[in-house]
Amino acid sequence: MKPTLTSKCVLCGDMGVGKTSMIQSYKLKHFSDSTTTTIGAEFCSIDIDFTNIHYRIHVWDTAGQERFRCMMPLYYRSADVVIIVTDSSNFNIINRIDYWIEYIRNETDCSIIIAVNKIDLLLESEITTLNDKLDSYRLNGIPIELMSNKIPTSLNQFFKQSLLNVVKLKRSISTQLITDNESMTMNVDLNDNNIDQNDRQWGLLSFIGQC
């Protein structure tokens, strides 16, 4: 049995950019547009095999509505990676990337990836313009992935390459090595709110009411 390394990832971004669809489409292996508005946050785990190691990434999909924003620091805490999901077809939302980076940086120093979704809606000339606009983030060392939840190869590339590369390179990642007969701590910086290591199915952890 391969050793398993665990990591915590948080999805954030404005409402309607495709955060929940991104996770469900990847897990179901086909595009899913029958998602409902996330309330608070939803949790799932993604399993990826790479060479002789099994990666289990715990993903928190957070709500995009402003009224749930006060809860977000609870999820960012001890995260290894935060994915900012944005909508390539809406420049008002693209222009809010700076807001999300500042918001995250005020809470954590974890790695950031920008997932630019809905790229299938753009013309080639629009993609060129968008890429020029995103160059400043690349120059600051923030990985950017242009993608579409409707294109399976796009989702696979994001999770199995872009996200996994950041997880593997994260210096202070809190991980747990699981073997057949023993469990050995790899890093003392463990998450106090560590998720049960059983292979859990998509579960809803939501908070109802005002903060």
**What does the pLDDT profile of the chain (211 residues) look like in tens digits?**
788 889 999 999 999 999 999 998 998 888 877 667 787 788 999 999 888 889 999 999 998 777 778 888 888 888 999 999 999 999 999 999 999 999 999 999 899 999 999 999 999 999 999 999 999 999 999 999 999 999 999 999 999 889 988 888 764 444 443 343 334 333 333 343 444 443 333 343 443 344 4
Domain that includes residue 79, residue range: 4-205
Q: Measuring CA to CA, which residue among 93, 97, 94, 62 is closest to residue 76? A: 62
CA nearest to 18, candidates 129, 99, 115, 95: 115
Residue 210 lies in a domain: no
The whole-angstrom separation of Cα 70 and Cα 210 is 9
What are the start-end ranges of the H helices in 13-145? Answer: 19-28, 72-76, 91-94, 97-105, 124-139
| Number of folded domains that form the chain | 1
Query: What CATH number did the domain enclosing 195 receive?
Result: 3.40.50.300
CA distance 173 to 112: 13
Instruction: For residue 211, tell me if it sits in a domain.
Output: no
pTM attached to this predicted model: 0.79
Two tokens, residue 48: 């990826």
